Amino acid sequence: MFDFLPQIPLADWVDDFTVWITNTFSFIFNPIRNQFGDFMSWTADQLASIPPVIVILLVAVLAFFITGKRYGLAIFSIVGLVLVYNQGLWDELMNTFTLVLISSLLSVIIGVPVGILMSKSKVVEAIMLPILDFMQTMPAFVYLIPAVAFFSIGMVPGVFASLIFATPPTVRFTNLGIRQVSTELVEAAEAFGSTGFQRLFKVELPMAKGTIMAGINQTVMLALSMVVIASMIGAPGLGRPVLSALQRAQAGPGFVAGLSIVILAIIIDRITQNLNKSKA
């Protein structure tokens, strides 16, 4: 129907733009890839150097107290993590946890301030909403292309892809939580002569922390969901055995690695959820 229209070289434009960014900002990307990559490898090595029994006990104790001294999650953590160790996937688990931890922290550090700006400015909100929609609806595999172009392969591009994919929930929930704070409380704070920063940190953020923590929980789970995808660009962790099993059509190793990811996901999800309840 529209054959009379000339084809827009959109793919060529994107390729040229990616090459231009890679070449122009290589002085930024290269140090990040090298220094940040070394830091992440060092962190994973330090976690892996801790005796597994100590890590398992620490996680169980944390789960016990954070759930209100209930034994369910603590017992599940012990059984699940011992199973992961028994299957010889402990080092991969530590690499995965490192990737999830760092990408989640970066997402929160970026997402919360952006969400605050959105809640304070309709212009910023109008600009950010389409960007967030784009970030959440674009297939996750597409993020691997610029990640590899900017940072080569390894854990750093995996964190970069996870950062883009996992940040929107924290931004959206922070914006939503602050906007839902009662106007009466804000007006009362203004009446007592509080400054904008005082209202933000003493009224709005404390009242919105439940909603913000829910967004952070979603961010952590989305970061974890990128583990297998990030393994396609060389990110270490539990995604590698899953990818290897897929390539070789080995159901057993793939199931074991996938089960290990599920165990880690359940532990992280329950801990962050109960952290939200304990802070409410």
Say how far apart CA 38 and CA 40 lie, in whole Å.
5
Reported as a single tens digit per residue, the pLDDT across 83-141 is 989 888 888 888 888 888 888 888 889 988 998 888 888 898 898 889 888 887 877 77
Query: Does any domain span residue 155?
Result: yes
Task: Tell me if 135 sits within 8 A of 165, measured CB to CB.
Answer: yes
Task: Tell me if 210 sits within 8 A of 61, measured CB to CB.
Answer: no
Query: Does any domain span residue 171?
Result: yes
Say how far apart CA 13 and CA 19 lie, in whole Å.
10
Query: Does any domain span residue 63?
Result: no
Per the prediction, the chain carries an average pLDDT of: 82
pLDDT given at position 1: 60
Reported as a single tens digit per residue, the pLDDT across 250-278 is 788 888 888 888 888 888 888 888 776 65
CATH, residue 113: 1.10.3720.10
Reported as a single tens digit per residue, the pLDDT across 203-215 is 788 888 888 888 8
Reported as a single tens digit per residue, the pLDDT across 219-229 is 888 888 877 77
Query: Does any domain span residue 109?
Result: yes
Q: Domain count for the chain, please give it.
A: 1
Say how far apart CA 36 and CA 49 lie, in whole Å.
20
Task: Tell me if 240 sits within 8 A of 89, measured CB to CB.
Answer: no
Q: Is the pLDDT of residue 194 over 80?
A: no
In this structure, what token pair is assigned to residue 232?
Answer: 């396609």
240 by DSSP, 3-state: which?
Answer: helix
pLDDT given at position 4: 67
**C-alpha dihedral sign at 136, 140, 96, 80:** positive
pLDDT given at position 229: 79
pLDDT given at position 3: 67
pLDDT given at position 181: 81
What average pLDDT does this structure show over 45-58? 88
Domain enclosing residue 221, as ranges: 10-49+87-279
Query: Does any domain span residue 60?
Result: no
Query: Does any domain span residue 20?
Result: yes
Reported as a single tens digit per residue, the pLDDT across 15-36 is 888 888 888 877 777 887 788 7
- Residue 280's pLDDT band (cuts 50, 70, 90): very low
Helix/strand/coil (H/E/C) assignment for every residue in 22-82: HHHCHHHHHHHHHHHHHHHHHHHHHHHHCCHHHHHHHHHHHHHHHCCCCCHHHHHHHHHHH
Q: ∠ CA 139-214-37 to the nearest 5 degrees?
A: 55
Say how far apart CA 247 and CA 132 lie, in whole Å.
33
